[in-house]
Amino acid sequence: MIKKEQMKIVSSRAIAKDTYEMVLENHFISEKAVPGQFLHIQIGTHTLRRPISIANCNKERNEITILFKINGVGTSELATYQAGEFLDVLGPLGNGFKAEDEPQSTILLVGGGIGVPPLYYLGKTLKEKGINIVSILGFQQKENVFYEQQFQGLGETIIVTDNGSYGYKGYVTDVLDQVGLFDCYYSCGPIPMLKALTTKLEGKRGFISLEERMGCGVGACFACVLPTKDGTGYRKICKDGPVFHAEEVTI
């Protein structure tokens, strides 16, 4: 079930260049949230809401964490909101990572830039179930790196930057051979990264989380569709996704 809720901003702080962490309080959304879902946030009087992933959830404290990067007018306005203010939010939206898809022993998380956030809540949830987590996180450069410590808390974490200013130099796909065996991978990030990754890991069990410009966010307007790989149909990112089996859709 989806609701339109007021979420109280508990805190908001910069965690990297142009990147913010915001903690929001709301009982319904925190109770229902599963990893991979997102919020559709009303910012000021903008005609369209902005989709932002659920990066963490604390069900005892009724809290949801979002991490966002300033990417235009809406996100820069969002960065000016202060603790104590309220956000009008539709959520939780989308189909997250499903329980029956859960692997048994070791999983790999691969995040690129602002695709990193949804992987944190997923990794945290799977770790609580006793699964080993290995993470590869790619950023443009040193100033953009965030949540390294949090991911280290989940397990082995490899950071790469495009220019080598922090961690390994290169792309996430360049360090794949440094990680051992894993049963399944989960990834979110820019399309070129997802393309390179799914090609390199072809045949492996994997799930990817996708982005598209959205209208309604609930499945009514057909703004956010993408074709299925078998060419016979389509999926709505907002309602059927944003998480898909790597073999399911064409990116």
Partner 1 sequence: MTDLAIELPGLSLKNPIMPASGCFGFGREYSEFYDLSKLGAVIMKAATGSERFGNPTPRVAETASGMLNAIGLQNPGVNKIIESEVPFLSQFDTNIIANIAGSTLEEYEEVARAFNKTDKVHALELNISCPNVKDGGIQFGTNPSMAARVTEAVKKASNLPVYVKLSPNVTDIMQMAKAVEAAGADGLSMINTITGMQIHLPSRRPLIANKTGGLSGPAIKPVAIRMIYEVRQQVNIPIIGMGGIQNAEDVLEFLLAGASAVAVGTANFQNPFICSEIIDELPSVLSNYDFNSVQEAVGKGIIS
Ligand X SMILES: Cc1cc2nc3c(=O)[nH]c(=O)nc-3n(C[C@H](O)[C@H](O)[C@H](O)COP(=O)(O)O)c2cc1C
190 near ligand X, rule: CB under 6 A: no
78-97 residues near partner 1, rule: CB under 8 A: 90
Supply the minimum distance, in Å, between the C-beta of residue 69 and ligand FES: 21
Give the C-alpha separation, 61 to 25, whole Å.
Answer: 8
226 near partner 1, rule: CB under 8 A: yes
36-65 residues near partner 1, rule: CB under 8 A: 42, 46-49
Judged by beta carbon distances under 5 to 8 A according to partner kind, the member of ligand FAD, partner 1, ligand X, none in contact with residue 216 is partner 1
DSSP the chain: --EEEEEEEEEEEEEETTEEEEEEE-HHHHHH--TT-EEEEE-TT-SS-EEEE--EEETTTTEEEEEEE--SHHHHHHTT--TT-EEEEEEEESB---GGG--SSEEEEEEEGGGSHHHHHHHHHHHHTT-EEEEEEEESSGGG---HHHHHTTS-EEEEETTSSSSEES-GGGGGGGS---SEEEEES-HHHHHHHHHHTTTS-EEEE-----SSSSSSS--SEEEBTTSS-EEETTTT-BEEETTTB--
Among 101, 163, 222, 250, binds partner 1 (CB under 8 A): 222
Supply the minimum distance, in Å, between the C-beta of residue 120 and ligand FES: 24
Interface with partner 1 (CB under 8 A), residue total 28
Judged by beta carbon distances under 5 to 8 A according to partner kind, the member of ligand FES, ligand FAD, partner 1, none in contact with residue 33 is none
Judged by beta carbon distances under 5 to 8 A according to partner kind, the member of partner 1, ligand X, ligand FES, none in contact with residue 179 is none
Interface with ligand FES (CB under 6 A), residue total 12
129 near ligand FAD, rule: CB under 6 A: no
- Site residues, ligand FAD (CB under 6 A): 38, 48, 50-53, 67-69, 71-75, 114, 117, 211-214, 242
- Site residues, partner 1 (CB under 8 A): 1-2, 4, 42, 46-49, 74, 90, 212-227, 234, 239
